[in-house]
Amino acid sequence: MATGSALKKIEILEGWVKPDGSLLYGLKISLAEGWKTYWHTPGPMGLKPDFNFEGSSNVNSLDVLWPSPIVFGSTGFESIGYQNEVILPIVIKTKNNSDPINLKIKGQIGICYNVCIPAEFETQSVSKILSNDLNTDLLAALANLPLSPSDLEKKDARCNITFSPTGFRIEADIPFLERADAIIIFSIIDYGNTITIEQPKQLSPGKIISATGEWHDEPNFEITSDLITITHLYKNQVIEQRGC
């Protein structure tokens, strides 16, 4: 298959108004059969996605939600992402609730089969008024979001950050880590390629887990514990804690 036909379509799904007044949209990425794309933290063999929302109108803030991913490849060479299709829910807070919005997204994602390539795209929302109907595909993506520790009646992880001149170290006590063959991923989701994190390679339940990181373009950047996301992957279950 030619790589040019691997990315079938990227489109914005328009959802509904949430009870708190925010709006729910979705970014749907459709790939050819067998192709993969990557999670917000793609692993050592993946390409990190990058989204730009400049040019959108009446958007005060937005939050991209990432459904539970799967792990591809062997230990040390794994990548983390989605196969064939994924919908990323987007929660939007408007500047003025009475005005329509226009959501524009420009981005680059990695797509992979036998080879991995970057793919650039641009897309925007179409209608000015959200339908009252619930989009079933978007509902399914919301149902596939990671569980929180409290969903499983687990205690939250606690973490501590120390700094060096060019980087940082995260140490965390993770009560919901119960198996050494699970995967723990530390991430700072909204800072793109500014930060890289060397993930822990060996896990010991009941012991402190650590990861080291460095920043590239913002040497004075301050990382606080509320920015850190801890994701636990084991078989088909994904647990995620935002802030520690």
Answer with the residue of higher pLDDT: 228 or 193.
Answer: 228
C-alpha to C-alpha distance for 148 and 232, rounded to whole angstroms:
10
Domain boundary pick from 117, 143, 169: 143
Residue 154 has pLDDT above 70, yes or no: yes
Q: Given this model, what pLDDT does residue 192 score?
A: 65
Q: Which residues of 175-196 are buried (b: 16+ CB within 10 A; e: fewer)?
A: ebbeeeebbbbbbbeeeeeebe
Do residues 161 and 139 share a domain?
no
Do residues 70 and 186 share a domain?
no
* DSSP string for residues in 89-127: EEEEEES-TTS--B-EEEEEEEEESSSEEEEEEEEE---
Do residues 79 and 158 share a domain?
no
Do residues 139 and 224 share a domain?
no
Report in angstroms the alpha-carbon separations of 150 from 49, 139, 234: 29, 22, 17
Q: Given this model, what pLDDT does residue 151 score?
A: 97
Residue 2 has pLDDT above 60, yes or no: no
Mean pLDDT across the chain, nearest whole number? 90
Q: Given this model, what pLDDT does residue 164 score?
A: 85
C-alpha to C-alpha distance for 204 and 148, rounded to whole angstroms:
21
Do residues 64 and 183 share a domain?
no
Do residues 94 and 182 share a domain?
no
Domain boundary pick from 143, 163, 185: 143
Do residues 127 and 178 share a domain?
no
Do residues 133 and 14 share a domain?
yes
State the pTM of this model.
0.90
Do residues 170 and 130 share a domain?
no
How large a percentage of the chain has pLDDT more than 90?
A: 68
* Distance from the Cα of residue 77 to its chain's centroid: 20
Residue 203 has pLDDT above 60, yes or no: yes
Question: pLDDT tens, 92-115?
Answer: 999 988 888 899 999 999 999 988
Answer with the residue of higher pLDDT: 107 or 219.
Answer: 107
229-234: strand order across its sheet: 183-187, 229-234, 237-242
Q: Please state the domain count of the chain.
A: 2
Query: What is the rounded average pLDDT of the residues 143-163?
Result: 96
26, 137 Cβ separation under 8 angstroms: yes
CATH number of residue 119's parent domain? 2.60.40.1250
Do residues 123 and 45 share a domain?
yes
φ, ψ for residue 195, nearest 5 deg? -125, 140
Q: Given this model, what pLDDT does residue 129 score?
A: 63
Which residues form the domain of 213? 149-242
Q: Where are the beta strands (DSSP E) in the chain?
A: 7-17, 23-31, 36-38, 50-52, 59-64, 70-72, 79-83, 85-94, 104-112, 116-124, 158-163, 167-173, 183-187, 195-198, 209-215, 229-234, 237-242
Residue 130 has pLDDT above 80, yes or no: no
Do residues 196 and 126 share a domain?
no
Do residues 75 and 186 share a domain?
no
The CA R_g of the chain, rounded to the nearest whole Å, is 19
Q: Given this model, what pLDDT does residue 1 score?
A: 40
Query: What is the rounded average pLDDT of the residues 69-97?
Result: 90
Domain boundary pick from 124, 143, 162: 143
Question: pLDDT tens, 51-62?
Answer: 999 999 999 999
